[in-house]
Each structure stands twice: as structure tokens, then as C-alpha cells.
Amino acid sequence: MLWIKLGWRNLLRNRRRTFIEVLSIAGSVLLAVFMNNLAVGSYDQMVNDGVLMGSGHIGVYNSAYLSMRKTELTVNAPPLVGALEREPSVKAVYPRLQVPALIRSSRDSRNAVVVGLDFDRELNSNPLLRKDKLVEGSYPSSDDAKEALMGEILARELGLKVGKKFVIMVQGSDGKIESSLFRISGIIRTNARMIDAGMVIAPRKVIGSVIGKPDSAHEIAVILYNHRHIEKVLPAIRAIARTQPEADAFRWQEAMPELQNAIKMDRVGFQIMVMFMYLIVGIGTINTLLMSVMERTREFGVIRSIGLNKKGIRKIVLSEALVLATVGVTLGMALGIAVTGYTSVKGIDYSFILKDQGMASTLIDPIIYSAWDWYSMSVIAGGMIIIAFAASIYPVHYILKTGPAEAMRKY
């Protein structure tokens, strides 16, 4: 306790300098905590939406489909869907088709992706089908109807409106070109150009019939009750998938590597930023401690003369570093928790800068909510304490290189 008492009181000798350094540490911790939790929150949202729109927590595919993406590489959906739905850990199962197509109107034609899904299953879960995305019209009246939702930009470019007809031309599973007439039931606006200008959503069975495989699916997205159970559940899902020789099960990270990579890149960028921030704070802390120590060179000479050895001198300087870091980290963490608490409920609306809300094959919700990443927060706090300790090394070296007599003589 002596060392902590000394450390605290020595820091209070120059309150302004100590206050500025504490603010610097606290500010860095606040920034790191807030930005980390906001980033993790955005990753969680991206993964949640990506998983619901895309492969699910675990996706069942034809083994070759993920690498080749050919229309004919499907699985037979009904038996797999039934078996998957009976798995206790499985919350929902979404079979889908994804077919590159030419969309033709009387005015023009465009390339697009036709997504075939079961509206009765996905109406209340798929981010693409959220009510706020449907800007005109309605959803297809049934899963057997030749009706479709179209992206707003695509519809405008083709000169189409709700109720108008258009043709979907695809390559069938036998390699022949097939076409079918559909009616637009609704227009969607997601603010993601890849969707608004390039997607049509129609009932899966109808699209399956167009390509010649009415009960097929390119992707069966399996949604779990708990995303942390992916590894635990994967073997069972895989066993079900492999009841069809060509099928297999994949984690979402394997099925949607672009999403995984986008998150990883962002994470690395953030970690580099935090490293530089800590480096700058470390330099500031060295300066604070060094100035504090230099002003007390004579005093340290006296302390050594009365019998405090080098280890004791280190403890004095270290205790100052520890007090500085503890106060700064505590303040920064408290502020970080307060800001995270607020933004985890209210969120931050990025729509003013996020013009295109599509990324890595998923939608980005412009309102980002912070998440509670306690592990990273403790690493941030611990890292700053370590930086403070490291910052005390040079000041200790400085004071110890001067002998006690010289210290008392010169200063």
C-alpha cells in the first residue's frame, strides 16, 4: 500500500499534468471500447442478416455448387427439409434457388439473379422481405403463383410497374434456354444496388418448374436457435445432408467467405488503429512519467541514500504508472460502458453516409447497434495497463543511471 500511496500522491504534485494524461488514457480507452463494441454490433447484424438472407448458420448445398454455381447443381429439397426440421437445435429451414437470368420487358432487358424462395416460410424472417423494403404492391399471393418482387432500379430501367408482366429467361437444368411469363406483385427498395438493380424474387417451386426441377434447391439455409452451437450441431446436419450423395453441409463462413473476409479485414484494420492509438498514448505516458521523475532526481538520490534499493525505486515509478493507468482506464471504461449502453439501445443511424447498403452479398442495416464484447473490453483495459507499465521502463532507467551522490550534487 505504501507504493500505491506514494504513486498517487506523487501524481498529485502536478495535478494539471496528471489530469491531462489521465484524460488521454481515458479518451483512448473510450474510443477503443466504443468503436470495438460498435464494430462487433455491426458484425453481429451483418452476420444475422447475412445468415437469414444467405446460407443460414449452416447451409446444405450440392457439394460442387459453392465453387461452380451452376444451375443444374441442386439438391432434392423435400426429404432434406423434412429431416432438418426434425432436428431439435434447428429453428427454421429455408430452401432456395438462385438462377442467373435475363429479365425482359416490352421496353428493354437486363441481367439479374432470380431468387426462388418459399414466401410462407420466409415472410417474417428474411431481411429482403421486411415490410419497410416493400415500397409498392404486395408479396406474391401464393407459392404457386407466377408473381414476383422486383428491385426498384431494375423495374425502372425496364419500364415496369406493379401489375405489369415480364419474362424470365434462364438456362434450364438440361442446358436449354427456358422462359416464363411473370407478373410484378411488388417493388422492393433495399438501398443496396446489387439487389435493387439486379434481383427478382419469386416462389421457389415456380422457378424450379421453369428450370425443370420443381422440388429442387440450390441452397437449404438452416437457422439454429443458438448461433454458438454451430460446431456442435454441424455433424448431425452433415449426416442428414449426406443422405443425398451429392449434398453436404457447410458453415456460413465457408458458404459466404466474402462476408467472413469483410469482417476479418475490418477487424484487422481496427486492431491496427488501436495499436497506433496505444503507441501514441504510451509515448505520452513516458513523457509524463519522465518529467515527473526528472523533477525529483535529488529526491530519488535521498531515497536511495536512506536505503531504498533499485527494486524499490522501480516500485515507486511503477506505482505511479499503475495509478495513472488505473484511473485513466476506469474512467475510460465507465464512459465506454455508458456510450455502449446508449448506442446498444438507440443505435447510430449511418444512412447519411451509407448510400449503398449492400456489402459482401448481404444487406447492411444503416442503424447500427453496439454489442457488448466484454472479452475485447477487458483486453483493451489490460492492454492499456501494460502500456503504462512499459512506459515506466525508460524513466526508471533514467533515474537509476545517476548515482545517489551525483543526484544530490547536481540537481
Residues that bind other proteins (CB under 8 A): 2, 5-6, 9-10, 12-13, 298-299, 301-312, 403-406, 408
Residue 6 identity? L
Neighbours of 409 (CB within 10 A): 11
Residue 392 backbone phi and psi in degrees, to 5: -85, -10
Give me 308's grid cell: 531504498
Rg (CA), the chain: 31
> What is the rounded distance in angstroms from the CA atom of residue 167 to the CA atom of residue 222?
31
> What is the rounded distance in angstroms from the CA atom of residue 111 to the CA atom of residue 108?
11
Task: Count the residues in the chain.
Answer: 411
> What is the rounded distance in angstroms from the CA atom of residue 121 to the CA atom of residue 119?
5
Give me 294's grid cell: 526528472
137: left (phi over 0), alpha (psi -120 to 50) or beta: left
Residue 386 backbone phi and psi in degrees, to 5: -65, -40
Give the CA distances from residue 40 to residues 13, 49, 131, 236, 342, in Å, rounded to whole numbers and listed in that order. 41, 14, 26, 29, 15
Give me 297's grid cell: 532526481
Tell me 227's DSSP state. G
Give me 284's grid cell: 505520452
Q: How far is CA 234 from the centre of its chain?
A: 22
| Helices 393-400 and 257-294: angle between axes, nearest 10 degrees | 20
Can you point out the beta strands (E) in 265-387?
A: 348-349, 358-359, 362-363, 367-368
Q: Are 293 and 395 in contact (CB under 8 A)?
A: yes
Q: Which residue shows C-alpha cell 497506433?
A: 276
